[in-house]
Structure 1
């Protein structure tokens, strides 16, 4: 039986999102529980679009870990490289939602299972059979996860696979920006595609000017940089030149999962061999659908939903 066409690697946690909208976490009385974490959300997004996808990560030896494993399998995500950590618990994130602005997030993950991903968890033979690897860069924040992520990127490159980096820059996970910059640059030298929102692009590219930041990243050997700019749309820098597509207008509920929905859809377009503009439009529409819904993973659209929104936009 053939393995997944694409793997995602990195953060897998439980999201607990406030049911009361516009209420700070100190006053929230109830939460909805979802599968969460950038790598996991992206895996679910790819599965719903129709890709054959697996997740490389860890869960804790607890009921939340069981919940995450069950949800992934229900979504059709391969869990052959999902390990159960013998000690560390499953990470959590609590979020208060303030649409249309950014949400307030409180992480419980020091320590947690997914950050303890190890080289022994990776079946490199199976990884070599895949066409693509998507790494959420919070996996680089601490050892042994960072070594596992870098080894996976190197192995996938050596076998001819495409490496996609979701920069997933969260300063609170790192000892210092200087340390983060070192490991980000190391990973980007192994990347073919870099996906970044505006703060991530500025951090990784060393400039507040998006064009300058993108060019700095491309000089590391990255093939294409995709800049997610929220309501200002999307910019593409790469071998096919420069492209810009507008944002898809929707009523915003929760901005947290937009980047993961975008990344899943863009990666799906790469797998399908679509031209740049088609990939960008499809990804922008997928991200828009996610921000219009309450959760991240549960908000991930099907291909039919994305195509329907694009068709409506053209009318």
Structure 2
């Protein structure tokens, strides 16, 4: 791990959006009467989570020359996140997501990402972000889905490794953002050998090694929670064989597992809570883990922190707007047995 002699602790790269969450919790999507306006996108959520926990954080995305882009930037600037490298793309639009909330297990969503600005992040934007200022860089799977962002992500990986930054990948599988679901695996597998940490659910890990689109099934338009058939043990070992130093498998209420080459699985218990909304929980998990790791904690304690921040998020209405502060996360963990 890099010593804390760089200007920033972490840079996250990728999606940003305005998120319209149903205010009618429990109602079917067709019966929704109003929405709450928040910000979202997995890398944006992680950036906010990291900043609220106390990390000096930068975020690289792109926004359109529109009111939605101004909405996103206004929120990020108020949070104190470094947005100095975020470009405005005049030929594209900031993206939007509409989400239903039907706990405990239905969370349908609709993406509006045609000609979206964040997928226009290019090589020059990576150069302007100056990765040498960062101790760590968090990548997100959807940013690899189309060019020019795809090539920019591989360039950012090169720069991160050259600068000695810690690299982490949130698998972030969104099937409808790829021209073919198998293309996701082909692309992600090319990035895996350069990652110090990989974080994903069992379904996302299986998606990285799908060989037949029929293995994938999306019910109730839950794009973020597909059902994927496959051998999870084999997929986990394949990731480790790619050279990944640490794989963290998110297992929801059960907590998470740590896998490292040549070592036994380490299970880290979660924190039981009543679920309102699972969307964003994985992003909050990632923020909690990166905070713990960058503090120099051992992996077990860092993942335990991740479980705590993830558990807090599932009790909330939205994503980034409700990310926990360090004080909230520690108090929550202490109330349930501690880290």
Q: State the TM-score, normalizing by the size of structure 1.
A: 0.96
Alignment of 1:75-94 (within 5 A): 75-94=79-98
The Cα shift of 1:281 comes to: 0.7
Alignment of 1:131-170 (within 5 A): 131-170=135-174
Alignment of 1:244-259 (within 5 A): 244-259=267-282
Q: Does 1:274 align with 2:278?
A: no
The residue number in structure 2 matching 1:307 is: 330
226, 231, 237: which one aligns with 2:259: 237
- Pick which of 238-247 and 269-278 moved more: 238-247
Distance 1:64 1:132 in 2: 28
Q: Is 1:205–1:217's contact at 8 Å kept on the other side of the alignment? A: no
Aligned residues: CA RMSD = 1.6
- Pick which of 24-33 and 126-135 moved more: 24-33
243, 253, 256: which one aligns with 1:221: 243
Distance 2:74 2:309 in 1: 24
The Cα shift of 1:25 comes to: 2.8
The residue number in structure 2 matching 1:69 is: 73
The residue number in structure 2 matching 1:105 is: 109
Deviation digits for residues 72-127 of structure 1 (CA, Å, limit 9, x no counterpart): 01111100121111111110000000111141101100121111111121236721
Q: Is 2:186–2:208's contact at 8 Å kept on the other side of the alignment? A: no
6, 9, 28: which one aligns with 1:5: 9
Deviation digits for residues 191-229 of structure 1 (CA, Å, limit 9, x no counterpart): 111000121011224583433221110111110000001
Distance 1:30 1:262 in 2: 28
The Cα shift of 1:150 comes to: 1.1
Number of residue-to-residue matches in the alignment: 315
Q: Does 1:50 align with 2:27?
A: no
> Helix, strand or coil for the counterpart of 1:217?
helix
Deviation digits for residues 240-290 of structure 1 (CA, Å, limit 9, x no counterpart): 642102221111111001000000111111111110110111100100000
Q: State the TM-score, normalizing by the size of structure 2.
A: 0.89
- Pick which of 203-212 and 39-48 moved more: 203-212
Q: What are structure 2's unaligned runs of at least 5 residues? A: 211-228
Alignment of 1:119-134 (within 5 A): 119-123=123-127, 126-134=130-138
- Pick which of 125-134 and 75-84 moved more: 125-134
Q: Does 1:41 align with 2:64?
A: no
Q: Is 1:24–1:104's contact at 8 Å kept on the other side of the alignment? A: no
The Cα shift of 1:189 comes to: 1.8
Q: Is 1:235–1:243's contact at 8 Å kept on the other side of the alignment? A: yes
> Helix, strand or coil for the counterpart of 1:150?
helix
309, 316, 323: which one aligns with 1:286: 309
Distance 2:54 2:150 in 1: 29
> Helix, strand or coil for the counterpart of 1:226?
strand
Q: What are structure 1's unaligned runs of at least 5 residues? A: none
> Helix, strand or coil for the counterpart of 2:98?
strand
The residue number in structure 2 matching 1:180 is: 184
- Pick which of 294-303 and 211-220 moved more: 211-220
Q: Is 1:88–1:112's contact at 8 Å kept on the other side of the alignment? A: yes
The Cα shift of 1:140 comes to: 0.4
